[in-house]
Amino acid sequence: MKRARRGVVSTVAGAAVLIIAACGGGDSGGGSSGFAPRDKVSIQGQEISVLLPQKIPGGLPAEFTRKTGVRVSVEVTSWDAVRSKLVVANTAKTYVADVTEFDWSFTGQFAAAGWYEPVEKVLDPALVQDLAQADAAFDVGGHTYAACYSNDYRLSLYNAGMFTAAGLGEFPKTFAELGPVLARLKVSGVRYPLGIPMAATEGGVTPWYLLTMAMGGQLFDKDFKPLFADPGSAGYRALRFEVDALKNGWVSPGSVTFDNGPAFDQFAAGSSAILLAASPGNLATANDPKESSIAPHAKPALVPGVRGPGTTFGLPEGLAIPVTARHKDAARAFIEWWMQPATLRVLYKDAGMVPCRGSVVTSMATSGELDGGAVLSDELTHVVPLFPQGAPKWYGQFSSTAQGLLNAAVKGDMSVEAALKQLAAKATELATSGS
Amino acid sequence: MGSDILTREVHPGGAPSGPRRPVDLAAREATRAGMLMMAPAVVTTATLVIYPLVRGFQTSLESGDAAVGGQPHFVGLRNYGEVLGSSTARDATVHTLSYVALAVTLELALGLIVAVALHRTFRGRGIVLAILILPCALPSVVSGVLWRRVFDPDSGLLNSVLEQLHILSQPQVWLAGRGWALAFITLVHVWGVLPLVSLILIAGLQSIPEEVYSASAVDGATPLRQFRHITLPLLRPSIAVTLTVGTVWATKIFDEIYVLNGTALNTRSILMEVYNTTFVNADFAHGTALAFMLTAVTALFAAVYAVTFRRSTT
């Protein structure tokens, strides 16, 4: 009997050893920097994995392989899924990819958690210098955690064909002018002239951020005190505008379940005439006859404001190297190859990604390669950061709460006042607890 | 030799009468063989079930600041208390209970109708059964995407048909209001689960001897009385299985809601709240606390069904 018990004990002990071995194997990357001097490292024959929220032109990875001998496997999934994957894998200190998406909104949390390698001393100094302005969104505590690859910001798009048919000329410069324009478009036969995604997603809250800034406000003060709960505030008026747009029939009732993808699809299908919060890359797609039925009538416009064009904000996206990456030197080579002017031009032309390198943007604007270049350049002068003091580490929780509450307000499940008061209380709690 | 061992093994309480050595040897070998055969199952279960459970429970008792660079520390049951006090979690609980009540009722009622209809043999029954199983074969995300096209406010089939029939004058956003949204999401869920429920009930019906019906018919029982006094009582074990499966699946509802309405507050289930807390907010402590509470409630439901039906069938 004792021997039988001993047998059970040894079986369980064996199982425990295997569990420990299995679990111990999870941390494949370690926490060290792991970069070798450029002249002492060979990356040829290595294979890296890249995790992105959007497709890149099919031939590009092969081009990198041809130049460096490094094979690349690109995994593409939705933005929200990318974030979830990064949070889960990095919390478990497990390998997720060698190069990953790094959105501006990740900066506070991911830097505090120590999940990414600072890149300012790893990448070519000339490249770091050229990216400095755009990379400010990825700076925390004296370190830069990503190299910006998509100079995303919000601007407005409109269908010039529909404007002409409605007897309208220029795009409105203020919100006071916007109302009559929308009414005129509606009379001319555009059932829902305005496209605003309002689903309970990140894409559904971005227009509220934009409208808040365009109406002359900010979300928080310098101490992260919320500024949107007061009925006179820009944040309050911005949400009120969204609710009224639904009530007035300017926006499709279905917008309350739309993310930015379907909202853009409606614009490209000619179902709406104005997109207030579009990405610069949307312009090229909307004017591509293969992907849009309104080509070539899509035109860019400055986001309306209170007395003239309003403020907008940047949502730069970067490439970063997790501390758990297996081939950090190859990952660095991949980022540097991506940032070469020729690669950036292909990415803009075929994937609508506006480059972040100052020298490349200037060169493309000068040569006329940037579609709607003058307006895009003009809008860039109105771009300010959503969080001038840097994205807080609790941004994910704030955004997730905002998604639910703003969606409830536009659906009429809550009043604008109640939704924003609740959001302000949550933001105050997060800022105070520092979690 | 074998019979000798068997004889000695069954002596109650007393020592076996024969020599001890061969018995010990054989018992030891049998034990060792048993251990070896058990080992893969023990290792697999311990690695994939027990360890994550223990680790998850440990996480639910710690502070949730690991994902923002903090050092987790023991906080006891504080996370459980905070989750219980959260209005979002409370709303999600109410939604989940609504899904469960609606889904289980519909699955049982419709499942019984389908099972009774398909129990009898008729021409083309095989084809009908094959068609019936199709929704079950579709991943729930795919069925959610299909149904989204039906409910789409601008170009969806439902609005289009109702407008053509002049029942609606303007498009309805079916997933905006809480009532319609909960009902339609439940319908999509039931659409996917109904085939399995029906098959379980058909199998149950086929196990009832035909003679029982023949004898009752001789005694003058109408089909309705036969259903009430023969079919339903003898189907109890199958009904218990469908109720348990239906409850557990409805409690875990996620894909259909996520595809049809995202993380909107008006339709969020507990599992979605777990997902949102854990992966969107990166708050593993509160997320796992909520997940353990959900597990406990699901297990409780299953236990209640099992006990109730065991009592009623014995």
**pLDDT range class, residue B10, cuts 50, 70, 90:** very low
Residues A334 and A289 in one domain: no
The answer to whether residue B15 is domain-embedded is yes
Residue A380 and residue A336 share a domain: yes
Looking at this predicted complex, what is its ipTM? 0.74
- Give the Cα separation of A416 and A235 in Å (integer): 10
pLDDT band at A17 (very low <50, low <70, confident <90, very high): very low
Looking at residue A391, its pLDDT comes to: 83
Same structural domain for residues A184 and A83? no
Let me know if residue B60 belongs to a domain. no
Residue A11 at interface with chain B, using a CB cutoff of 8 Å = yes
Is A91 in contact with B264 (Cβ distance < 8 A)? Answer: no
Residue A63 lies in domain:
38-152+315-384
B250: domain CATH number?
A: 1.10.3720.10
Q: Enumerate residues 403 to 432 of chain A having a beta carbon within 8 A of any beta carbon in chain B.
A: 403-405, 407-408, 411-413
Mean pLDDT, chain A, whole residue set: 87
Which residues of chain B neighbour A91 with C-beta distances below 8 Å? 66-67, 282, 284
Q: How many cross-chain Cβ pairs, A to B, lie less than 8 Å apart? A: 131
For residue B66, tell me if it sits in a domain. no
Question: What would the two tokens of residue B42 be?
Answer: 């023990």
pLDDT digits (tens, 9 = 90+) for A69-95: 999 999 999 888 899 899 989 988 899
Mean pLDDT confidence for A182-199: 94
- Confidence at B314, pLDDT banded by 50, 70, 90: low
Domain at A95, CATH number: 3.40.190.10
Question: Domain for residue A14, yes or no?
Answer: no
Residues A374 and A410 in one domain: no
| A206-262 residue pLDDT tens | 999 999 999 999 999 989 999 999 999 999 999 999 999 999 999 998 899 888 888
The larger pLDDT score, comparing residue A14 to residue A259, is at A259
Range of the domain at B13: 2-42
Does A186 share its domain with A328? no
Report CB contact under 8 Å: B176, A15.
no
> Does residue A21 lie in a domain region?
no
Provide the pLDDT for residue A21: 36
Q: Give residue A33's pLDDT.
A: 65
User: Is B67 close to A256, i.e. CB distance below 8 A?
Assistant: no
Find chain B residues with C-beta within 8 A of A16's C-beta: 46
| A167 pLDDT tier (thresholds 50, 70, 90) | very high
- pLDDT value, residue B216: 92
Whether A239 is covered by a domain: the verdict is yes
The three-state DSSP-derived secondary structure of chain A is CHHHHHHHHHHHHHHHHHHHHHHHCCCCCCCCCCCCCHHHCCCCCCEEEEEECCCCCCHHHHHHHHHHCCEEEEEECCHHHHHHHHHHHHHCCCCCCCEEEEEHHHHHHHHHHCCECCCCCCCCHHHHHHHHHHHHHHEECCEECCEEEECCECEEEEEHHHHHHCCCCCCCCEHHHHHHHHHHHHHCCCCCCEECCCCCCHHHHHHHHHHHHHCCCCCECCCCCECCCCCCCHHHHHHHHHHHHHHCCCECHHHHHCCHHHHHHHHHCCCCCEEEEECHHHHHHHCCCCCCCCCCCEEEECCCECCCCCCEEECCEEEECECCCCCHHHHHHHHHHHCCHHHHHHHHHHHCCCCCCHHHHHHHHHCCCCCCHHHHHHHHCCEECCCCCCCCCCHHHHHHHHHHHHHHHHHCCCCHHHHHHHHHHHHHHHHHHCC
- pLDDT single digits (tens) B59-116: 999 987 777 777 888 999 999 999 999 989 999 999 999 999 999 999 999 999 999 9
Mean of pLDDT over chain B: 87
Q: Same domain for A188 and A301?
A: yes
- Report yes or no on B68 lying in a domain: no
Q: How far is A404 from chain B (nearest CA, A)?
A: 5
CB spacing of B68 vs A393 below 8 angstroms = yes
If one counts the domains in chain B, the total is: 2
CA distance A324 to A3: 45
Same domain, B32 and B90: no
Indicate if B280 and B198 belong to the same structural domain.
Answer: yes
* Residue of chain A whose Cα is closest to the Cα of B43: A15
Question: A373 and A232 share a domain?
Answer: no
How many structural domains compose chain A?
2
Q: In terms of domains, do A69 and A58 share one?
A: yes
Q: Per-residue pLDDT for B313 more than 80?
A: no
Q: What is the pLDDT of residues A383-406, one digit of tens each?
A: 888 888 788 888 888 999 999 999
